[in-house]
Structure 1
Amino acid sequence: MGNSTGWPIAELALVVVATLIYASLAVGIFSRGVHKADLAPSWARSHGILLSPATTPFARWYCQLTGVLRVTGAISGLVIGSVFDYAFGVDSSAGFGFWAWVISGWLLGAAWAERQLPRPGETGVASLTPRSTTDYIARGLAVAPLVATALTALVAAVAIIKPAPPSRAALRPPSTTLTFLIGTAVAIAICALVVVLRRAVLDRRQPLMEPELLAVDDAVRSSTIHHLSGAGTAAIVCVAGQLITLQIEAVPKLPFGLRGWLPLLPLVGALFAWRYWSFKPWRVSRSLRAVSPS
């Protein structure tokens, strides 16, 4: 009796410990660049700011914190995706699904860094001019998650209207109506999460700071909203890519080499949104004016 109940627990504990060790090593390896001396100045210049002795520590701490937490979130997304697959007997972490889990975790890590960043000044005593999302990111990036969600719904609708025989690959989610509806729901959920997190960043109360520190804090806000919007768009595009892959795998013959290049489109779109749009240089256009409330 002791062995039958003890060994599974011991094996589970071993798996948990090994996972934590490997995850910690991965975070350390992939975030090793956060201590580069030129990281904070380069980040500040991309937002139209020149750092001073007063603002350098704040900017450096943000760059280090967000770098580590984004990687931590990505590794956590990978682990959670694997646990999800094991629990439900599917293979959602394969192909585009792998990147959907990783990028979603990366997105949450970016939001976490913005919330956890300690800021100089008297918290909650400043009143600012109204903020708009397009003060901090380009209009195209602001609507990109919505467009990606609409495209995912379109892919699902086409697959449902023109159904193919369910795929029979081991563990892979079958190309059924339910699968495409779930994929659409996941895309909508990611989009809603992005909108809610962006709004939370915009609505965060501003400490009363010197103007140069205020400029850095607004750059932090802009950088976070870029990460949320770009990564959120990429994760949604990965969901669409997974649905496209499921559908074309279920179709025995496709003309004009569609089986090869059609999945390439969401791959390019996801890479563009995640690795370019998320880090696009941007100077905050909102007036940096803070006044104490009466």
Structure 2
Amino acid sequence: MKERTTKYLQEKYPRAVVLSQDFPLKNQFTQATEKVIYGHVAIDPDTGVKHRLLAIPDLGNLGEVASVAQNLKAIFDVFAGLYIGMGNNLNPTGSSVDSVTMPYAPKILLYTNGLKVPIQSLISEFQNMGHQIDVVDESSMYQSIFISYGGPDEEAAGTLNKALKSVGVSTWFFPDDSIPGQKLHRMMHDGVNKHDKVLLVCSKDSLTRNGVLNEIERVLEREAKEGGSDILIPVTLDDYIFTEWNPERTDIADQIKARVIINVDPESENYKQDIDKLVKSLKS
């Protein structure tokens, strides 16, 4: 999360210098570290102010909100003595600024990958301690996705799942999210219908599996019920869908081939660019 929140601030304030610090949250009884949170300060010469962001994974565990609210000033005091002068002596268009005299923006960004408490109670808790906050919930930045694939493609699908989760996309991936004892057909039905998008791996090893073909039909039925919405996102690991795939239901093949299909083979030279395209398509 530290890398993602640093990138978030850099995109929000392109010319800012971003400083970061890890802070362990400890159990008040055992003193064991329960999780690590991340404080950031973006020193922005364009606005002339410092912007604070506190990143907290799974925000809202018992007692956590009150503890963070009480210690928020101490967390950011760590950055108080750091001096960074910023200006453009070659072509000045405004006053030079420095990190010591530059004021803080009044609101603190509270960033999380999953909010476990009502947002209004969170805001009230911080207001009671004299802090103004804006909540950035990473889970609302992207549409959720269900990953459909055949068993032999599990390793490649796992690599894809990690890439999506690393930027904050909420995914459903069988090895991580399946529930022991639940019937497979019910699990697949819920996965296909409860997520915003379905990512279909269109390789030879996946498109020849009855389970995958059944999931394709269910997704297309859902798209039809929802007025032709675009739920299915096909990706591939090889050329099978373009050169050999010829299922009994030719209408299904036509509906998939009519979409833009990118290659997400981890060995592809354009892998990173294609993952970036996929992530962009999932923006809420």
> TM exceeds 0.5?
no
TM-score by length of 2: 0.22
**Bigger relative contact order (CA 8 A; separation at least 6):** 1
Q: TM-score, normalised by structure 1?
A: 0.22
Q: Which has the higher helix share?
A: 1
Which is strand-richer, 1 or 2? Answer: 2
